[in-house]
Structure 1
């Protein structure tokens, strides 16, 4: 038999945790020395400890772990718990990956501060535009919030346009955004010639003519904030202020290779 210290070393846990597991009945010692009160463990108890630690690392509560180890759950219940936890972990990994990408983008912006040439900004008149669009709500303006919301809208919009017998005019897709309380209302749009129709399961709107400062952004939209901030510096330096909602026109976009993307950023402006 092993003392609690030796058993902790063999199991790769702390003595404190073993005492806690004993206190809640999750892993009591094999015996307790009546004279010294020392807890003593058997090697065969390591299997329970290993399962306990593995389930705990998966995010199960100690109460759930005890139910699993004591076979108080049938196979279907256990399978359901494991599937749910798998989905939770996958969502967490996706969120952490998006957060890491955003941190890396911010670092690049800091490192390249002032290096992006504002002379690439072009001022032009954007003609009125009729578009068919779908909308959805995002939690914020950062690409990690916008991307997952807007990406599914375009294939869905194309499906609905095809069902309505409407062919978009030209390939570029357009996005624009407006505040919606603490969130952002995301508009995913494509140019059309057809008039609004209540029977359509999408909206047809007329975007107004605007005088805009524009900049071509190359690469994935994860890095778009750097280009947007370059536009902001140019607008301020030249005595303008933004007016209304800025647009993104996806001139060349490939979901499978976003690094090849070409996007025109359009910020409507007016003299300050």
Structure 2
């Protein structure tokens, strides 16, 4: 038999926790010395302890754990529950890491306040563009993960539909956004994934076809994940103001994905385009 200290060490729990489990009847010692009161456990009880800890890590209360352990939960069921919980925790870690990266990007932007470099912002004419597109609804600009989660799956689906219809992409993929049609109180946005298709015949292809109008834009290339696009957006906004332009009403900004290697978001290159109103005082570029 194992002393409570040895059992605690092997099970990676505290002696205090084992005493608590004993007190509530969740894990009783195999033997208690009647004279000293010392608790002793068997190696087999480590299996029960492991189940208790596994269920506790799933978020169940100790009372719920006790009921489940007493019902002798099937190992396959327990494995399934653990895998589900692992997937949930992994998703939570990814969301937390994304938020942390966003905070870091905000801090970097704050550090540039007062001396924002707009040298890479250019004025250019963008011709009319006929695109195949699919759309979805995201929670809003203050929910970047919602934009990503709704926009990203549209591209492979659109590509599948284009391949099935024999339609070829004629330029870089892009995204554009439209505000909610119900008015300013609704902060949701419609996200559009699009591929240029030229004058291809697309009758009955299963996707929408839109002709984006010709427009004059202030543009800059953003390097890195689009969750940090506000950094480049800030440079473009500063340039617009400094050069006497005004952006057109919301709903016409575009993102053109120039280089998007899988799994390397830090290497992404995206041209952000903000359509302009007014004449301004800047010299155009290409």
Query: Of residues 190, 210, 214 in structure 1, which corresponds to 2:215?
Result: 210
**CA–CA separation in structure 1 for the residues paired with 2:104 and 2:37:** 50
Q: Deviations over 1:15-41 (max 9, x none)?
A: 4x567645643235668999xxx9863
> Tell me, what secondary structure is at the counterpart of 1:200?
coil
Corresponding residue number in structure 2 for 1:228: 233
* Unaligned residue ranges in structure 1 (runs of 5+): none
> Tell me, what secondary structure is at the counterpart of 1:27?
coil
Q: 1:217 to 1:31 in 2, by over 3 A?
A: same
**CA–CA separation in structure 2 for the residues paired with 1:145 and 1:228:** 19
Q: Deviations over 1:32-89 (max 9, x none)?
A: 999xxx9863233973445433432343432442244335322332232222222212
Corresponding residue number in structure 2 for 1:154: 155
Q: Deviations over 1:147-193 (max 9, x none)?
A: 333233222212211111111222x1111112333333211111113
Q: Which moved more, 1:54-63 or 1:92-101?
A: 54-63
- Superposition pairs of residues 1-272 of structure 1, within 5 angstroms: 12-13=13-14, 15=16, 21-22=21-22, 24-28=24-28, 41-44=39-42, 47=46, 48-49=48-49, 51-141=51-141, 143-170=144-171, 172-180=172-180, 181-194=186-199, 199-243=204-248, 244-245=250-251, 246-271=253-278
* Unaligned residue ranges in structure 2 (runs of 5+): 181-185, 281-286
Task: State whether residues 30 and 42 of structure 2, in contact with CA within 8 Å, keep that contact through their aligned partners in structure 1.
Answer: no
**CA–CA separation in structure 2 for the residues paired with 1:198 and 1:103:** 45
1:223 Cα offset (Å) = 3.0
Q: 1:115 to 1:259 in 2, by over 3 A?
A: farther
TM-score for the superposition, normalised by structure 2:
0.76
Q: 1:242 to 1:25 in 2, by over 3 A?
A: farther
> Tell me, what secondary structure is at the counterpart of 2:42?
helix
Task: State whether residues 247 and 276 of structure 2, in contact with CA within 8 Å, keep that contact through their aligned partners in structure 1.
Answer: yes
Q: How many residues align?
A: 267
Task: State whether residues 7 and 41 of structure 1, in contact with CA within 8 Å, keep that contact through their aligned partners in structure 2.
Answer: no
Q: 1:255 to 1:115 in 2, by over 3 A?
A: farther
Q: CA RMSD of the aligned region, Å?
A: 3.5
